[in-house]
Structure 1
């Protein structure tokens, strides 16, 4: 099966931090939309942090138990949640105007009660991998089942690192913010454990408002040269 094009998109400080910084959501999502993504891929921990940052979990309503009806141009959100971290809070994303609906990527170790929660609320889910989600197979299934040509990854260092280690990323898009966070902060690519450097080719360098800079790099593979 064919893999969709995968683009990592993040806002970071000049020293590479992605945590405990005030991201300009207008700039972040305004640039993201230019990629024409079909799937917005997020890790469960990043999704949970976003919920906590923007007001917590409201009570479920009847409308939250059914799929939304939105334009096909709006991306579907695929959330990797093998442990069922987001049980009871997925409706936050279902309500989000920039989310057509939610697909959950789970594994063979996912608790049965979480799968029942998904079924009762009509969330699509894909089971792949034994203990953890098989990222390569999950991407191929998203391409096949949902005709996803482009997947935008908007997540933290764990998911980004895993995708880069498995050579599943095609481009990296970074909004560099005009600030330094200093010592004691996690950097976006701290979890990459490749033995060789990942070579990049600059595709875009654009100055944005509020002194932000937008960098887009292509992953250079030996087969590309």
Structure 2
């Protein structure tokens, strides 16, 4: 296999939502730890997150939502490296500086020739430019150029939808919070375009359950292998 082995690792509600509503002001990391019945057990997700792969893929939008652009230079170095897909851009120079001060390596993937990362000269910062986003090519490049053998994916619903349709998931590791969110426009575990005919059924992915684990405070962890 040329590309890394990938695992989608996410926290979601019982009804499959990964945020609190349809607004960038709302975010599960910030909001759910304030909700009675959820806050008591949410630390288990963050404990499990510490055991994920040393390479993690996310989006610039998520980085902006969790406040990376407002953080100062980190005081300690992490062994983890990030791949951030960021076209708008959502990350600014301060956010990139914080990430590079904290991470072992930061790879910015962008279709934006004016991304602020181009103006920064940091030893552990790399930029992968693509005319049009190509996730399969990205995974190949991570394996061949950066020697990434395992990758945890924690991006938003639309990007997760892209990886689903392109058969880029190998495993799922999902922590379910005892929470109902609702809202047809609220981001779910996997969004993106829906299929519209039966001749597209091959774009769906069936899974084999590896483990179902009951955690404390009514949280559940489900681990699956995605069948090829």
Q: Give the TM-score normalised by the residue count of structure 1.
A: 0.79
1:4 matches 2:4: yes
1:104–1:144 Cα change, 3 Å: same
Structure 1 residue 70: Cα displacement: 4.3
CA distance in 1, matches of 2:90, 2:140: 24
Rounded to whole Å, the distance in 1 between the matches of 2:193 and 2:46 is 25
Change (3 A) 1:25 1:125: farther
> CA RMSD for the aligned pairs?
2.5
For this pair of structures, how many residues does the alignment match?
Answer: 202
Q: Is residue 2:19 matched to residue 1:19?
A: yes
Is the contact made by 2:59 and 2:155 (CA closer than 8 Å) also made in structure 1? Answer: yes
Structure 2 distance, partners of 1:149, 1:33, is 18
Match of 2:105 in 1: 101
Q: Distance in 1 between matches of 2:67 and 2:210?
A: 33
| 1:190 Cα deviation after fit | 2.7
Aligned counterpart in structure 1 of residue 225 of structure 2, from 212, 218, 222: 218
Task: Give the one of 199, 205, 215 matched to 2:206.
Answer: 199
Alignment of 1:115-134 (within 5 A): 115-118=117-120, 120-122=121-123, 123-127=125-129, 129-130=130-131, 132-134=132-134
Tell me how far apart the structure 2 counterparts of residues 57 and 40 of structure 1 sit (CA, whole Å). Answer: 21
Gaps of 5+ in 1: none
How many Å separate the matches in 2 of 1:175 and 1:102?
Answer: 26
Choose 193-202 or 37-46, whichever is displaced more.
193-202
**CA pair 80-161 structure 1, distance change in 2 beyond 3 A:** same
Once the 2 structures are TM-superposed, how far is the Cα of residue 210 of structure 1 from its aligned partner? 2.0
2: CA distance, partners of 1:32 / 1:208: 14
How much does 1:48 deviate? 1.0
Superposition deviation, residue 4 in structure 1: 0.4
2-side partners of 1:198 and 1:31: how far apart?
A: 25
Aligned to 2:155: 155
- Mapped to 2, the partners of 1:105 and 1:164 lie a distance apart of 19
Q: For 2:223, what is the secondary structure of its paired residue?
A: strand
SS of 2:51's equivalent in the other structure is helix
Normalized against structure 2, the TM-score is what? 0.78
CA distance in 2, matches of 1:115, 1:75: 19
What is the CA distance between 1:69 and its match in structure 2?
8.5
CA distance in 1, matches of 2:117, 2:189: 31
**Could you tell me how far apart the structure 1 residues matched to 2:149 and 2:5 are?**
6
**1:139-183 deviations in whole A, cap 9, x for unaligned?**
111112221111101121011001111111111111000111133
CA contact (8 A) 1:4 1:143 kept: yes
Residue 40 of structure 1 corresponds to which residue in structure 2? Answer: 56
In structure 2, the CA distance between the partners of 1:169 and 1:192, relative to structure 1 (3 Å rule), is farther
Q: Which residue of 1 aligns with 2:91?
A: 86
